[in-house]
Amino acid sequence: MKYQAVIFDLDGVICHTDKYHYLAWKQMADDLDIYFDEEINNRLRGVSRMESLEIILEGSSRTFSDAEKEKLAAEKNERYVNLLGEMSAADLSSEVWETLEQLRGKGLKLAIGSSSRNAKLILERLGLKDYFEAVSDGTNIAKSKPNPEVFLKAAEFLHIEPDKCLVVEDARAGIEAAKNGGFDSAGMGEASASKDVTYAISSFGDLLKIV
């Protein structure tokens, strides 16, 4: 078997929390009288909270101090976490669950590589709190994708070399991060069109054809 482990991005791959992020950022932007729409929201995919905030604040004519930015980011996260309260195991699709089970059945180790600081909370809401052998997320990294740190940490936690791990992503920045770290990648959605992707897949279940 070529791969010993699969490392998954969380948002947009295992589950879809985009709507909660969008609503939380939209509420903040509206409060600041900054224009924000789905197109701008798409630029936030795969980047950190503070980098996302900087993108949104481009739409403002005023400047914000570091302290103000920290406060805004914290308020956005509080709104987002409150919205996540609506999430449950019902938000985990049968396709994802069945594919994960089959991957485990093949003897593969499974890990999460997400820039989200709320990854563990989301996994808990989905009923997957103790499901993955390793979780590398925004709480243990200093650099966001396309820096490969989050995936390298996941591989380190698993004690498996990057070339034996397959990264699954839905964002181009994630595919670039995988390449930068020496990982093969499977890309879904917009990530499937990346020039750096190893395997372009149309659905989560297609992973079974790769491994």
| AA identity, residue 31 | D
d(CA 88, CA 68): 33
Question: Of 202, 157, 198, which Cα lies nearest the Cα of 174?
Answer: 198
Residue 142 has φ and ψ, to the nearest 5°, of -110, -20
Q: Catalytic annotation on 33?
A: no
Spatial CB neighbours of 97, under 8 Å, sequence gap ≥ 6: none
Q: Catalytic annotation on 163?
A: no
Beta bridge partners of 167: 7, 185
Instruction: Enumerate the active-site residues.
Output: 9, 11
